[in-house]
Amino acid sequence: QVRLVESGGGLVQAGDSLRLSCAVAGRTFDWETIGWFRQAPGKDREFVAAAMWRFDTTKYGDFVKGRFTISRDNNKDLVYLQMNNLKPEDTAVYYCAASTALMILTNIGAWGDWGQGTQVTVSS
């Protein structure tokens, strides 16, 4: 089992930037696919971004449009989600997730481990 703990959420204004962190512990980090999802009130959880480092592959949700970047700090077992030019519609709880699938899948069922989430609120 992989343990995931998110941090870095908060209240920002439209156009601001925010960096979320996900601390990863458990299975060998290099063999995990780590991703970010988000869930706004009354909406389904949706895929934001993911990275499969053993194949140097990343994938982003269509709505990201170059605003978000997923990265990692090898020394600290941290995965980051840098979010720039935030919009009010980005307001949601952001979750970190881990998958052992052999490719990046965006459906929730492919992700076996989840963090508790961190709230991001973007005011207009």
**What are 9-38's pLDDT values in tens digits?**
999 999 999 999 999 988 665 667 999 999
Looking at residue 75, its pLDDT comes to 78
Dihedral sign for Cα atoms in the order 86, 30, 118, 106: positive
What was the pLDDT predicted at 29? 59
Query: Per residue in 63-97, pLDDT tens?
Result: 998 999 999 987 778 999 999 999 999 999 999 99
DSSP state string for 68-104: EEEEEETTTTEEEEEE-S--GGG-EEEEEEEE--SS-
Taking the C-alpha atoms of residue 55 and residue 87, their distance in angstroms, rounded to an integer, is: 31
The CA distance from 41 to 91, in Å, is 9
Cβ–Cβ contacts within 10 Å for residue 33, how many?
Answer: 23
Find, among 123, 104, 100, 2, the residue nearest to 60 by Cα. Answer: 104
pLDDT single digits (tens) 38-64: 999 999 999 999 998 888 899 999 999
The bridge status of strand 10-13 relative to strand 118-123 is: parallel
Query: 3-state class of 118 per DSSP?
Result: strand
More confident residue, 1 or 89: 89
Tens of pLDDT, residue by residue over 106-115, are: 999 999 999 9
Predicted pLDDT at 30: 62
Contact assessment for residue 70 and residue 53, using Cβ atoms and an 8 Å cutoff: no
For 116, the token pair is 């508790």
